[in-house]
Amino acid sequence: MQDQFYTTADVIAAQIKGDEGFLARFSGESSDFVRFNRSAVRQAGMVEQRYLTLELFRGKCHAAQTLSLTGEQDLDADVVKAAVATLRDILNDTAEDPHFLINTTPQSTTRVMPSALGTPEESVDAVLKAGAGHDMVGFYAAGPIHSGFANSLGQRNWDTVKAFNIDLSFYLRADKAVKMGHAGTTWNAAAFAHKAGLAKERLAALARPAKTIQPDGYRVYLAPAAMEDILSMMSWGGFGLADHRTATTPLIKMVEQGVKLNSAVTISENMRDGLSPGFQNQGFVKPDNVTLIENGAYKDCLVSPRSAAEFDEAPNGADDSESPVALDMAAGTLAHEDILKTLGTGIYVGNLWYLNYSDRNAARLTGMTRFATFWVENGEIVAPVNVMRFDDSIYRMLGDNLVALTAERDLLLSTDTYEARSTRSMRLPGAIIDDMRMTL
């Protein structure tokens, strides 16, 4: 796909006239999809698609159109030529955009991430083996995801990542289930079997009589998947320059009042180890790392070109949303085998659900426990816990009440497949938290 995209970019360049310029963004994939239900394959297929977003500009006037490409060079050339003509007509009636900013210093890059996915048959067989005798539902998606950028200044960027993502739920009955995910760029059957084994152990514990606990503060262990829900909410306006300058960030107290999280908390946008492409829609190349929170203190924002133009700052490669695409939280020191012992008596939370801000300015979150939530006594799982709602602030959970972060971290890939497979990822530890507020 890379050569085809670059040839298409040359076709576009040949159509440019006078003071016009262009930006071309490519996304494509060749993905195997398998859906499971009741521990059997219910749907299997393959998706191959190519999309080109072509943006024509003249000064600060710009217009864009997204095209579906066929991979047939002659056919695609005719489509993009027609698109250039259409966009040229639109530009004649387009007002200037004062915040339009593009990279004018060409930086061409190529990354083809090493991978060893194995065959879909290997992974599917492993999933079916894990699900045998259980009510298991979920999906497997794998294959190469391609991203490209080109502009009229001669810049060319390409990124290919081959990854797999398995998202499964093992059901006991009704809403009683254990959810597990396994993702990466190298298939490891033993690692998958280990995770599936842990999920089935938790499933057996779900069969015990459930415990209802009273609203109160409890010592809690949040597994990495539950931490993903917390960090996703923090990423919703928490790290972008525009949100900070307009005082809409939920972390406003960190910015204006110097409030800090626990010194063990360091959060960064780690593009070097992430799966998302290292360039963005206006041609800016992303740095390997942007530290967002360092040792509990807020450090840097993600700055998109539009925010850079509006607030007179230098862009640092952020996408238009100014949300992390490769969020990384530093590991702690708690060994995996010591989690229950360190938790002692409290609640083990595998996942959270339906999160939202109950007080955005105070960074206070509310949400529900759901899958694989257990009552633990003296370091032993005793019973599943009926669904509870929590309501607590990030400043408490990741601040004074943070007891420990695990030394092991999970790579969590987005399961979003709407329009295309996502390359967003998080690498997160689990966390033990004191006095987490369960409200009903």
pLDDT tens column, 282-314: 999 999 999 999 999 999 999 999 999 999 999
**Mean pLDDT of all residues belonging to the chain:** 96
Run of H or E including 128: helix 120-131
Domains of the chain (ranges; CATH) run 2-206 (3.30.2290.10), 216-438 (no CATH)
| Single-letter code of the amino acid located at 224 | P
d(C-alpha 361, C-alpha 358), whole Å? 9
Q: How far apart are CA 27 and CA 200, in angstroms?
A: 37
Per-residue pLDDT, 87:
98
pLDDT band at 372 (very low <50, low <70, confident <90, very high): confident
440 pLDDT above the threshold of 90: no
In this model, does residue 231 exceed pLDDT 90?
yes
8 Å CB contact between 397 and 433? yes
Positive/negative CA dihedral, 27, 33, 37, 43: positive
The closest of 161, 102, 182 to 326, measured between CA atoms, is 161
State the pairing for strand pair 216-222/346-349: parallel
pLDDT tens-digit readout, 263-282? 999 999 999 999 999 999 99
Going by the DSSP 8-state scheme, the letter that residue 422 receives in this structure is -
pLDDT at 422 over 90: yes
CA torsion 72→26→420→233, rounded to 10°? 180
pLDDT of residue 173: 86
pLDDT band at 128 (very low <50, low <70, confident <90, very high): very high
Three-state DSSP class for 9? helix
- The vertex-122 CA angle with 118 and 126, nearest 5°, equals 130
